[in-house]
Amino acid sequence: MPAELDTKPTEPTERLAEIRVRSPLSIVIPTYKEAENIPPLLDRLERLRVEHEIDLEVLLMDDDSRDGSVEAVRDCGYDWSRIVVRTADRGLSQAVVDGLGLARHPVVVVMDADLSHPPEKIPDLILALESGQEFAIGSRYVPGGSTDDDWGFFRWLNSRVATLLARPLTDAHDPMAGFFAFRRADLARAKYLNPVGYKIGLEIIVKCGLENVGEVPIRFTDRVRGQSKLTFREQLKYLKHLRRLYIYKFRYLSSFGQFAAVGLLGLVVNLAILSALVWVGVPEATAVAAAIAVSMMSNFLLNRRFTFGYARGGRVSTQFLGFVGACSIGALINYAVTLGVISARPSWPVQVAAVIGVGFGTIFNYLTNQFLVFRDATRPPAASAGGPPPPLT
Ligand SMILES: Nc1nc2c(ncn2[C@@H]2O[C@H](COP(=O)(O)OP(=O)(O)O)[C@@H](O)[C@H]2O)c(=O)[nH]1
Ligand SMILES: [Mg+2]
């Protein structure tokens, strides 16, 4: 059941003071070495709780910080908050996933502990859910939202490029945000959650198929105490995470994209080997054959590793023979289609006919490899992209 609000969503200016979050609320906060930030954060949440009479539960999911975080929570003395010390399966997103499994209330908010996310905006997030959104983000990138002024150009660019890369996955302007609210029951719509890196909100949006995403503007303030744990390595993990999400959402389109990319790379490998062999004096006929053999092998290995990575458990020799067989038939189709176009449209440049032939051959190759050579009856490709699904609750 969603939160209830005693306000009219149509009157935003009068709304703020009137919002009452009546539904019980669980707040999940990943923490790592945030002992200094925990007391001011809990104090602000206490003010919010009293003001809005919220039935509140706060779960601080801590990765064994040993910096006084446990004592800080205890000394605050709020009976609605508890810290869970985790020693296995560390990491921000996994900590949040575990927190979601422990949460008891129907509406869940996730936020950072470093005071970058203003707790005072939580009622607005709940209001967004109440007015029909499936997922509500505390957003930096909608009108009224902002970040601190001292974000350098590269930090801004980095954040914007990362956001742009997620665009095909969701319409949200700030899908990378770590401040969001949703209904816990919607988690059941995900086959599994298995994020790598920091973007647990994006993971939930995509895996739960949440289309209706609302954004509430917030001012994102840079942390004053403690240090950011967002390293370059974490940012690289984002690319891996994106790849998994693309595969999850656009299963065949993304595997066809990878197959085509591998094919292009194969062309580069072919030309490089050919040039190198001719340059060292190998006869052209031999060099062409060797270039084809090497590029076919590299294409096979790359496709087996990435495009059809879920079928890596299959027997290599069988898969290789299947791949070579499929590609050989694909080459014949390419040849036949090219000749057909040449005879049907003699005025067209021969290169156009060749491109059409390559297109048909590639599609044939992809389909036979996807559904025959690398088919996997036991595991769906989406699941293989992320490993075995951990339980949600
Ligand atoms: N449990 C857990 N929390 C983490 C981990 N890394 C970061 N956090 C918490 O996740 C939130 C966001 O991290 P932060 O370092 O501020 O990232 P940034 O805001 O992107 O610079 C903070 O509350 C951190 O304490 C981790 O490995 N485990
Ligand atoms: Mg932070």
- Ligand 1 within 6 A of 99 CB? no
Reading the block at residue 36, the tokens are 């200094």
Torsions phi, psi of 170, nearest 5?
Answer: -160, 155
92 lines ligand 1 (CB under 6 A): yes
In angstroms, what is the span from residue 228 Cα to ligand 2's centroid? 6
Rg of the Cα atoms in the chain: 27
Residue to substitute in 27, 31, 158, 180 for testing ligand 1 pocket (most ligand atoms within 8 angstroms of CB): 31
Residue 223 CA: which ligand is closest?
Answer: 2
CB 63, CB 256: distance < 8 Å: no
φ and ψ at residue 212, rounded to 5 degrees: -95, 85
Quick one: CA dihedral 172, 146, 103, 50, positive or negative? negative
Rounded to 5 degrees, what are φ and ψ at 376?
A: -140, 105
Summarised one tens digit per residue, pLDDT across range 98-148 is 999 999 999 999 999 999 999 999 999 999 999 999 999 999 999 999 988
Task: Identify the residue with better confidence: 29 or 4.
Answer: 29
Average pLDDT, the chain: 88
How far, in Å, is the centroid of ligand 2 from the Cα of 336?
59
**Position in ligand 1 atom list of the atom nearest CA 116:** 19
Distance between CA atoms of residues 69 and 38, nearest Å: 7
The label of the residue with tokens 């490899």 reads 369
pLDDT at 117: 97
Strands 107-110 and 180-183: antiparallel
The reply to whether ligand 1 has any atom less than 6 angstroms from the CB of 32 is yes
CA of 316 to the centre of ligand 1 (A): 41
Tell me, using a 6 A CB cutoff, whether residue 36 lines ligand 1: no
Q: Give the closest residue to 58 by CA, choosing from 30, 94, 32, 97.
A: 30
195-218 pLDDT per residue, tens: 888 899 999 999 999 999 999 999
CB 95 within 8 A of CB 65: no
Assess contact for 307 and 255: CB atoms under 8 A.
yes
pLDDT tens column, 269-318: 999 999 999 999 999 999 999 999 999 999 999 999 999 988 888 899 99
Taking the C-alpha atoms of residue 33 and residue 69, their distance in angstroms, rounded to an integer, is 7
pLDDT tier for residue 19 given thresholds of 50, 70 and 90? low
Query: Is the beta carbon of 262 within 6 A of some atom in ligand 1?
Result: no
**Length of the chain counted residue by residue:** 393
Cβ–ligand 1 contact at 95 (below 6 Å): yes
For residue 366, give the nearest of 310, 316, 299, 287 by alpha carbon.
299
pLDDT of the residue at 383: 38
Residues 334 and 362: their CA atoms lie apart, in Å, by 8
Question: Measuring from atom 2 of ligand 1, which residue has the nearest CA?
Answer: 92
Q: Kindly give, in sequence order, each residue whose CB lies less than 8 Å from that of residue 204, ignoring residues fewer than 6 positions away.
A: 135, 180, 182, 187, 190, 193, 210
Ligand 1 atom 12, closest CA: 112
Each as own residue / partner, the long-range contacts of residues 144-149 (CB below 8 Å, 24 or more positions apart, any chain) are 144/217, 145/174, 145/215, 145/217, 145/218, 145/219, 145/220, 146/217, 146/219, 146/220, 147/219, 147/220, 147/222, 148/220, 148/221, 148/222
Q: Which amino acid is at 34?
A: E
- Centre of ligand 1 from the C-alpha of residue 229, in Å: 6
Percent of the chain with pLDDT strictly greater than 70: 90
Residue 49 scores a pLDDT above 70: yes
pLDDT at residue 18, as a whole number: 56
Ligand 1 atom index nearest CA of 62: 1
Residue 135 DSSP one-character state: E
- Give the pLDDT band (50/70/90) at residue 233: confident
Cα–ligand 2 centroid distance for 254 (angstroms): 32
The string of pLDDT tens digits covering residues 312-358 is: 888 999 999 999 999 999 999 999 999 999 999 999 999 999 999 99
Structure tokens at 198: 């920091």
Q: What was the pLDDT predicted at 8? A: 37
Q: Which ligand has an atom closest to residue 230 CA? A: 1
d(CA 33, ligand 1 centre) in Å: 9
Q: Residue for token digits 């945000």?
A: 177
- Distance between Cα 112 and ligand 2 center (Å): 7
pLDDT of residue 20: 65
Q: Which residues surround ligand 2, an ion (CB under 5 A)?
A: 114, 116
Nearest-atom index, ligand 1, CA of 112: 23
CA of 220 to the centre of ligand 2 (A): 9
Whether the pLDDT of residue 152 is over 80: the answer is no
List pLDDT tens digits, range 55-74. 999 999 999 999 999 999 99
The answer to whether the beta carbons of residues 122 and 109 sit under 8 Å apart is: yes
